[in-house]
Amino acid sequence: MELHQNPKLPILYRTAQVTTEQIDRENRTVSLSFSSETPVDRAFGEEILDHGLDSVRLGRLTSSGPVLVDHNPSDVVGVVESVEISGDRVGRATVRFGKSARADEVFRDVVDGIRSNVSVGYQIFKAHEESSRRFRVVDWEPYELSIVSVPADVSVGVGRANDSELHPITLTRSETLMTQEQTPAVQPEPAPTVDVQAIEERAANQARKAETHRIRELNAMGAKLPGAQEMAQRFIEDGKSVDEFRAAYLNEMPETRAIEVPDPSIGLSNGERQNYSFMRAIRALADPNDRKAQQAAAFEFECSEAAGGAGFRIPHDVLTHKRDLTEGGSGTGAEFIGEDLRGDSFIDMLRNNLALDRAGISYMMGLEGDVAIPKQTGAATAYWLANDTTAITDSTQGTGQVTMTPKNVGALSEYSRQFMLQSTVDAEAFVRNDLARVIGLEIDRVGLYGTGSSGQPTGIANTSGIGSVTLAAAAATWAEIVSLESTVATANALGGSPAYLTSFSQRGTAKTTTKDSGSGQFIWTGNEVNGYRAIASTQVAGNDWFYGDFSSLMMGMWGGLDILVDVYSQSAARITRVVAIQTLDFAVRHPGSFVLADTA
């Protein structure tokens, strides 16, 4: 069977029109169609996007997919609220614009008809050749939707220029497939004849591995979680997934049961974890045509594939690994060998950059799927008995749930070409800590002030049911500081290890403000206020003071860390951009545990 090599392809784009009848101005939403089975001429022939339910991967868009401007990942103006493949085999979505100045500007342009084009960026994975130079794409994934001022030239895609931007594909005749490489690839050798039996054997092996992994994960959770062994065994026998087990366990979990679930693992040994390098992966992603860089990062790409995800993913057990500096024997010098020492745990570095971590928030690591956490919303009722025959009136405790759903936060850092050539321990640790610091700043902000819209989690300040104190002036008084404690105590939520959290400017003011006119004692002394821990952060706005039991604020993290490398935006300056994306969410288990004080 003859094979032939077609031109390399980038991520492709298709455009459609936005009409004013599809715009809801009050809710800032736009309903639109973004794809169809209309044939489009491409460099490799005529392309038809199949819109069968099994042909389109909607995972990226349904998980709060981004709405961009002109396909710029740094210019996010909205979020995809819903997406579907309709009966007329058309891809349709409802998108909601944010309330930032930039998002409002673009939304107004859409309403006024100035920006009337929407474009979808998508990736092809498989296609059948229906006839000569006519291909039906039977496996494809939309990555993002963009509001564009000028429609893309669908015959060549967006970008058009450098070969290094393009991805090689192989087209085959009739019943065979064209398959796009899903990891950075060197120029492929001529493809061999398709071995159907080998493909079927690999599929069977993958199914066996998946089943073995399911059983191993359920057994591990059954052994680790209190009272879960019998439930885990039942789920194994019934063929149910790990996600289903977690949801069922959490729904039955009493208040005293541990919340944290086991971290997912791809099974790396301690030595493999030590040898994992962020820098090798970034260098390979920055230049897919560098054979040496690809070979050097073969292990990192293998780990990414095992961790899952559509792009490059750093597995969770690498992120949480605490490296042992004395491995190999104390005093042997093995702990100082650069190739084996790759810095500290990324998650630990992230926590070091979080003021919320110092305040004592709770973590749920390695989540999969949505999470529902039970909470008590009301107490049972006690009754006095008039005599020995008086019956006790039935009463029950009120219960509810706190939910967390995956939300994505991205952070961008830039590195020079000279820095990218470094392979030292210091360079490796710098990249890890740099990405952790940038992500940590935004996590701190949304943990406190997240709006719950435009893809953000809901932070403490916007959680319904927290306490409120109005400060009379910019400088909080001693009486107002004490009233924060009283507010939480009145809500019967003064437990755990409460703390105050405010800005550096408020900390400075409190250090120079006396409690009263005669004591000579200042509100902020050492690292304490009113006998409780006191923390300052640049993420606290204005004159705000937060007080409460921060262990009631839970941060859940899903999967590993996704990495995107952009060598083109700043190519003239020989700068490489690295975008790190982490999936997480916040939830307040007991709103009464917090109070926010601010000026009117």
pLDDT at 172: 47
Q: Give the Cα separation of 596 and 545 in Å (integer).
A: 6
User: Rg (Cα) of the chain, in Å, rounded?
Assistant: 28
Element (H, E) at 242: helix 242-252
pLDDT tens digits for 536-579? 998 898 899 999 999 889 888 887 788 888 888 777 888 888 88
Angle between helices 278-286 and 425-449 (to 10 degrees): 90
Q: What is the mean pLDDT of residues 332-345?
A: 38
Q: Give the Cα separation of 94 and 118 in Å (integer).
A: 12
Q: Which residues make beta-bridge pairs with 524?
A: 529
pLDDT at 274: 78
Q: Which residues make beta-bridge pairs with 148?
A: 117
For 116-130, 253-267, 358-372, 505-519, which range has the lowest pLDDT when averaged over its residues? 253-267
Please say if the pLDDT value at position 331 is more than 70.
no
Nearest to 541 by CA among 475, 477, 464, 598: 598
pLDDT tens digits for 472-513? 999 999 999 999 999 999 887 777 789 999 999 999 999 999
Q: How far is CA 254 from the centre of its chain?
A: 28
Q: Give the Cα separation of 232 and 258 in Å (integer).
A: 16
Q: Which residues make beta-bridge pairs with 372?
A: 403
Please say if the pLDDT value at position 384 is more than 80.
no
Q: What is the mean pLDDT of residues 49-71?
A: 85
pLDDT at 63: 75
Please say if the pLDDT value at position 528 is more than 70.
yes
Q: Give the Cα separation of 251 and 324 in Å (integer).
A: 37
pLDDT at 7: 43
Nearest to 13 by CA among 172, 171, 121, 146: 121
What count of other Cβ atoms lies within 10 Å of the Cβ of residue 324? 11
CA angle, corner 305, sides to 363 and 336, nearest 5? 70
- In the DSSP assignment, the letter for residue 495 is -
Tokens of 130: 């229906």
pLDDT at 286: 86
pLDDT tens digits for 231-252? 888 888 888 887 677 667 655 5
* pLDDT over 90, % of the chain: 15
Maximum mean pLDDT: which of 2-11, 16-25, 384-393, 511-520: 511-520
Q: b/e string for 270-308 if b means 16 or more Cβ within 10 A?
A: eebbbbbbbbbbbbbbbbbebeebbebbeebbebbeebe
Q: Give the Cα separation of 259 and 262 in Å (integer).
A: 10
If you write DSSP's letter for every residue of 533-590 in order, what string do you get?
A: EEEE-TTS-TT-EEEE-GGGEEEEEEEEEEEEEESSTTGGGTEEEEEEEEEEEEEES-
What count of other Cβ atoms lies within 10 Å of the Cβ of residue 165? 16
Contacts of 253 (CB under 8 A, 6+ apart): 259, 373, 374
CA angle, corner 449, sides to 443 and 451, nearest 5? 100
Q: How far is CA 413 from the centre of its chain?
A: 17
- In the DSSP assignment, the letter for residue 315 is -
Q: Give the Cα separation of 225 and 535 in Å (integer).
A: 33
- Residue-averaged pLDDT of the chain: 76
Confidence of residue 337 (pLDDT cuts 50, 70, 90): very low
For 43-47, 190-194, 482-486, which range has the lowest pLDDT when averaged over its residues? 190-194
Confidence of residue 166 (pLDDT cuts 50, 70, 90): very low
Q: What is the mean pLDDT of residues 316-341?
A: 44
Angle between helices 298-307 and 278-286 (to 10 degrees): 100
Confidence of residue 334 (pLDDT cuts 50, 70, 90): very low
pLDDT at 375: 57
Place of tokens 């090599």: 5
Full 3-state SS string of 479-524? HHHHHHHHHHHHCCCCCCCCEEEECHHHHHHHHCCECCCCCCCECE
Confidence of residue 386 (pLDDT cuts 50, 70, 90): low
* pLDDT over 70, % of the chain: 73
For 285-289, 342-346, 417-421, which range has the lowest pLDDT when averaged over its residues? 342-346
Place of tokens 């909601």: 96
Confidence of residue 522 (pLDDT cuts 50, 70, 90): very high
Please say if the pLDDT value at position 278 is more than 90.
no
Q: What is the mean pLDDT of residues 266-278?
A: 80
pLDDT at 1: 29
Contacts of 280 (CB under 8 A, 6+ apart): 293, 296, 297, 300, 423
Please say if the pLDDT value at position 115 is more than 60.
yes
**Which amino acid does the sequence have at 532?**
Y
Please say if the pLDDT value at position 322 is more than 50.
no
Q: What is the mean pLDDT of residues 360-383?
A: 68
